[in-house]
Structure 1
Amino acid sequence: MEKIIYLECIIATAIRYWLFESDHNVILANRIEVSTPLNSWKRVLEGVVLYNEGTNPYVGDMFHETPLILWFFTWIIEHFSIKFINLLFIICDIITSFVLHQTAEMYLQQLFQQQEKDKITYAEDVDEALLKKDDVSLAPLYVLSAYLFNPYCILNCIGKTTTVLSNLFLSLFFYTMLKGYHFCTCNILVLSTMQSFYPVILIVPLCLYSYRLTGKQSIMRAILPVVYFLSSLCIAFYMSYIITADWSFVNATFNFILNVPDLKPNIGLFWYFFTEMFEHFRPLFLCSFQINATVLYLTPLSIRLRNEPVLLAMTLTALTAIFKSYPSIGDVGFYIALLPMWKHLFQFMQQGFIVTCFFIGCSMFAPTVWHLWIYSGSANANFYFGVTLAFATTQIFLVTDLLFAYVKREFMLKHGISKSIEGKDVKLVLD
């Protein structure tokens, strides 16, 4: 198994390195599906140049990374060549995949152990719904492959977007949460929150996992991560203030994400809607869209998945990738790579073929329609928004299908798989 892991890492590294050495990296770095105002490498370079010249990079509408990222890349660009920086992005991607592999391994072992404890409460005819030992050993390898060879993740790396770092932070969040290193988890979550804001809602599954960790369910254990998180967040803000010597970065980062002033097209839903919006309706719908991207699903999902905080964290990560103001395919590729962790639910999913076809179709149509709109002039914004709307709908189908599969499996474990009403066999279907 280890040989397969190393072989996959070598092949994935070679693919990324070859693409970096080709001319495709320049093209990909400018694709709107890959780069956004928040993660663009070109904007990082401009921010570093302004910072080195003594100009505040947060004045204007060019740079939107955090001061911590600004300081990091300033040091990297000053001391290393472009080829090393390319290699750094590849290394971050490989580390992310390896961390996800270890995370999946730990999580599935915990699920299997919990299943063995709960078997006495299951119905008699549920063997085919149980988590198998093969799933425990193979699913982590599928997670590794799903990240290393996912076209979305590869394009994200070749485009040198800072989403590569975001994905690394999120993978470390899942890993340290499962390890029980909650102080470290909170620090990682702070870094991720400072960069893109939306991961702040992951504090809820962290608290739920902390509450259940030792078997001694305690409110204090659930509150402690919040204290760690807020303390670390205050320190991060103060460090950012020291780097820039003023608070203008808050307006250029958090305020930029929440108010969505840049309406350049992307794979999200904000840009088209607010381009067509009457200005006096903007505050109302801005609040509606941001609530939908953050807290709208948080309470009901947290209640329903209170015993599955890792699934809750993945679901929230997926929903923010769909509904956030400036999404990219790197965000989508990350949560798709996590799906094999719930391989035992795939047999209960009903939309797999449709979702796969729509993912392929949208991935092909998006650049085609963009070319027709921008370069050929034979299409318009409605065409491209139609593709992004279909892409978002596809992701919603995927997430809801997985959650329905989880509910169906829970029901079958408790009541059995074969059911009949008045002597007639019936099939459980969730609409």
Structure 2
Amino acid sequence: MAWGVWCIYVLGAGVRLWLMNSSGADFIAKRVEFSTPLNSWKRVEEGVFLYSQGIPVYSGGVFHETPLCLLISSFLVKSWRAYLPLLFVACDLLTAALLAAVAASYSRKQLVEQKKNIDKYSVDALPLLLTSESLWSGVAYVSAVYLFCPYTVASCVAQTTTVFDNLVLATVLVSMVKGYSILFGGLVAVATYQSFYPVCLLVPGIISLVQEKNSISALVKPLLSFAVSLALLMMVSAEIAGSWEFLEATYGFILAAPDLTPNIGLFWYFFTEMFEHFRLFFLATFQINAFVYVLPLSIRLRRDPVLLATALLAFTAVFRSYPSLGNVGFYLALVPMWKHLHPFMRQTFIVGCMFVSTSVLGPIMYNLWIFSGSANANFYFAVTLAFNTAQIFLVTDLLFAYVKWEYQLTHGSKIEVDGSPGRLTLQ
């Protein structure tokens, strides 16, 4: 088993390095599905150049990374330029290892929880019970899916900063399942500082910590750590940038979405067609979609905070203003942790076909629109809309499968209503 795991990581690194040194690396780096105004390494290099020349970095509309990212990137570009591909690959390998650690800790907790509640389960729930073999195979699948998912591979080859965002998110999940309250709060602050949307992970993290430690400190420590860490990051950033101008160029840019360059998200097309006097209303409506599901999902999935965190990551990948396929690949790698729910899922074939077809048709429609002039924006947006619909189908199918599995554990597989066979439906 150990040799098999090592082979997965070596092969994953080899695929990335081979593609980075191939003729298609530049083509992938320019694809709008992977590089956005927020994560493009070309824009980072432009910001580093402006910074080295003493030109205000945030006065234009090119650079939208945080000041700390600017400082670190400046050091990397000047001193480690030749080793940058190795750095991106190493970060991806570390992310895969951290996700495997999340899956391992989660599997152990699942088995302990099952043993504790075994008396509450139905007599015919034996086939539904978790086994260590199935859970540990899911751990191997998590790292394998992350390392070989085309979305994460191409995101690494394009050298997008999403690679670093995914690494921070993986450390957030590890600290959550391990029960490190202060570290968790600080890491969520770092993730929020980088891309704003991960602030919603505070909720599943606090739920997990409170359940594990059952004390008020499990609530106070992560919140206090988050607030203090975020405040320190902001003050350091203001010192690096020389003013608070970076707020408008980073978080203001994320919230206002002024750059309507096509991507896999929903914002660009709608706001291209939007009348200006309606823009603020619909902007607020679109942005709130990334957070409106936090409360209802937290109530329903309070017994499984890791599944809650995965669902929230999926929704933010759909509803963020500048999404990329690297965001999608991250939460897709977590899905094998619920391999035991796959028999309850009913839309896997449809979702799989939608993912494959839209991933192929997206670049085709974009080239027909931009380069050939034989199509228009509607063609490309239709593909991205279908792709986001597939993501919603996947998440809802997974959540409904969890509800059915949980129900049948307690009540059995035979559902009867007034003596007649019943059917469990999602309202």
TM-score bracket relative to the smaller structure: over 0.9
For 1:95, give the aligned amino acid: L
Q: What root-mean-square deviation, in Å, do the aligned CA atoms of Structure 1 and Structure 2 show?
A: 1.2
1:333 lines up with 2:329 in the alignment: yes
Measured in 2, the distance between the counterparts of 1:419 and 1:193 equals 44
CA contact (8 A) 1:89 1:160 kept: yes
Instruction: Tell me if 1:28 matches 2:25.
Output: no
| Alignment check: 8 A CA contact 1:207 1:223 kept | no
- 1:400 pairs with 2:399: no
**Residue 327 of structure 1: how far off its partner (Å):** 0.1
2:348–2:394: 8 Å Cα contact kept in structure 1? yes
Contact 2:181 2:218 in 1 (8 A): no
Q: CA deviation at 1:425?
A: 4.1
**TM-score, scaled to structure 2:** 0.98
Single out whichever of 34-43 and 218-227 deviates more from structure 2.
218-227
Aligned to 1:17: 17
Count of aligned positions: 427
Query: What do the CA deviations read for 1:44-101 (whole angstroms, capped 9, x no partner)?
Result: 000000111111211110000011111111111111233x101100000000001101
Over the matched positions of the two proteins, sequence identity in percent amounts to 48
SS in 2 for 1:326: coil
Cα distance between partner residues in 2 of 1:352 and 1:232: 41
Report the secondary structure of 2:243's partner residue: coil
Q: 1:286 is matched by which residue type in structure 2? A: L
2:368–2:375: 8 Å Cα contact kept in structure 1?
A: yes
| 1:283 has 2:280 as partner | yes
Distance 1:5 1:182 in 2: 30
Q: Give 5+ residue unaligned stretches, structure 2.
A: none
1:388 to 373, 380, 384: 384
- Deviations 1:265-287 (Å, cap 9, x if unpaired)? 00000000000000000011001
Deviations 1:400-425 (A, max 9, x none): 00110111111111110123456654
Match of 1:366 in 2: 362
Residue 266 of structure 1 aligns to a residue whose secondary structure is: coil
What's the counterpart of residue 191 of structure 1?
190
Give the CA deviation at 1:221: 2.1
Q: Equivalent residue for 2:219? A: 222
SS of equivalent residue, structure 2 residue 57: coil
Q: Give the secondary-structure state (helix, strand or coil) at the position aligned to 1:161.
A: coil
Matches of 1:423 and 1:63, distance apart in 2: 65
Q: Alignment partner of 1:350: what SS?
A: coil
**Match of 1:293, SS?**
coil
Q: Cα deviations across residues 129-169 of structure 1 (Å, max 9, x unaligned)?
A: 21122122100000011100000000000000000000000
Indicate the residue corresponding to 1:51 in structure 2: 51
Answer whether contact 2:185 2:221 (CA < 8 A) is retained. Answer: no
Distance in 2 separating the partners of 1:219 and 1:297: 25
For residues 246-302 of structure 1, what are the alpha-carbon distances to aligned partners after superposition, in whole Å with 9 as ceiling and x for unaligned? 1111011000000000001000000000000000000110010011112x1111111
Show the counterpart of 1:297: 293
TM-score where L is the length of structure 1: 0.97
Deviations along 1:181-235, one digit per CA (max 9) or x if unpaired, are 2212222211211111000111111111111112xx2344213211110110000
- Which amino acid is 1:246 matched to? S
The residue number in structure 2 matching 1:86 is 85
Q: What does residue range 35-114 of structure 1 map to in structure 2 within 5 Å?
A: 35-82=35-82, 84-114=83-113
The secondary structure found in structure 1 opposite 2:289 is helix
Q: Would you say 1:249 and 2:243 are equivalent positions?
A: no
